[in-house]
């Protein structure tokens, strides 16, 4: 009888361990799926920005320094995205969003550019992508938070360490990204 009880307890512990492990796997894949959603959107925006820069370049008096900042920021985002360096991506995203905002603000001084159908379509497309990226960042950070809590709490931490489940970094942004936009600053450059 004692042998059957021991086997029953062992089966229950094994079943519990498998459930914990499967839960950790599901969370890990949830983080990967959330990242993949962001990655697709970042790539789409990455592909749209050169088109916007080219449209602006057609207006010869358009500020070259503004265009160069957008190109440089786009490159930093691409590098961070490709290496999946989440902390660097947060900083690069902040820089890119500021540069694109400045480009749109500078474009206000060029009536012909503002009325260009191609420019307006690109501006709307990029703005739409920005909004979707913001939504996906929230989902990603939620998935990361769920993963990180489970990886650190007992008894999950025992299996997490045993099978190398890791804490994932959230996608964070600079203080300027979180604060209200100062429109006056955008028009000074």
Q: Please compute the mean of the pLDDT values over residues 80-109 and round it to a whole number.
A: 87
**pLDDT at residue 87 is higher than 90:** no
Instruction: Summarize pLDDT for 147-156 with one digit per residue, the tens.
Output: 999 999 999 9
Note if the pTM is more than 0.95: no
pLDDT at 184: 44
Q: Which domain holds residue 71?
A: 2-188
**pLDDT at residue 17 is higher than 60:** yes
Residue at token pair 């599901």: 26
Query: What is the C-alpha to C-alpha distance for residues 88 and 90, in angstroms, rounded to an integer?
Result: 5
Query: What is the C-alpha to C-alpha distance for residues 126 and 132, in angstroms, rounded to an integer?
Result: 10
Nearest Cα neighbor of 76 from 42, 53, 105, 48 is 42
Confidence class for position 104, pLDDT limits 50, 70, 90: confident
Query: What is the C-alpha to C-alpha distance for residues 148 and 94, in angstroms, rounded to an integer?
Result: 24
How high does pLDDT run on average in the chain? 86
Q: Please compute the mean of the pLDDT values over residues 77-101 and round it to a whole number.
A: 89
Instruction: Summarize pLDDT for 41-68 with one digit per residue, the tens.
Output: 999 999 998 888 888 877 766 778 888 8
Query: What is the C-alpha to C-alpha distance for residues 5 and 126, in angstroms, rounded to an integer?
Result: 64
**pLDDT at residue 188 is higher than 70:** no
pLDDT higher for 62 or 32? Answer: 32
Phi, psi of 166 (to 5 degrees): -115, 155
Tally the domains of the chain: 1
pLDDT at 29: 96
> Which residues, 6+ apart, have CB-to-CB distance to 55 below 8 Å?
113, 116, 118, 119, 122
Query: What is the C-alpha to C-alpha distance for residues 73 and 9, in angstroms, rounded to an integer?
Result: 58
For residue 6, the domain's CATH number is 1.20.1440.20
Q: Which two tokens stand for residue 188?
A: 């000074």
């Amino acid at each position: 009888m004692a042998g059957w009880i021991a086997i029953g307890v062992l089966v229950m512990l094994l079943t519990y361990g498998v459930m914990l492990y499967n839960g950790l796997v599901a969370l890990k894949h949830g983080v990967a799926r959330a990242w993949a959603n962001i990655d697709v959107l970042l790539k789409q925006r990455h592909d749209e920005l050169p088109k916007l820069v080219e449209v602006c370049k057609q207006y010869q008096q358009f500020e070259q320094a503004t265009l160069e900042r957008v190109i440089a920021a786009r490159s930093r985002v691409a590098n961070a995205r490709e290496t999946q360096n989440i902390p660097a991506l947060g900083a690069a995203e902040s820089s890119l969003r500021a540069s694109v905002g400045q480009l749109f603000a500078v474009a206000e001084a060029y009536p012909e550019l503002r009325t260009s159908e191609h420019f307006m379509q690109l501006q709307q497309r990029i703005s739409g992508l920005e909004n979707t990226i913001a939504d996906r960042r929230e989902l990603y950070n939620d998935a990361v938070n769920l993963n990180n809590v489970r990886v650190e709490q007992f008894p999950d931490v025992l299996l997490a360490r045993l099978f190398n489940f890791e804490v994932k970094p959230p996608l964070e942004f600079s203080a300027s990204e979180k604060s209200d936009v100062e429109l006056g600053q955008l028009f000074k450059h």
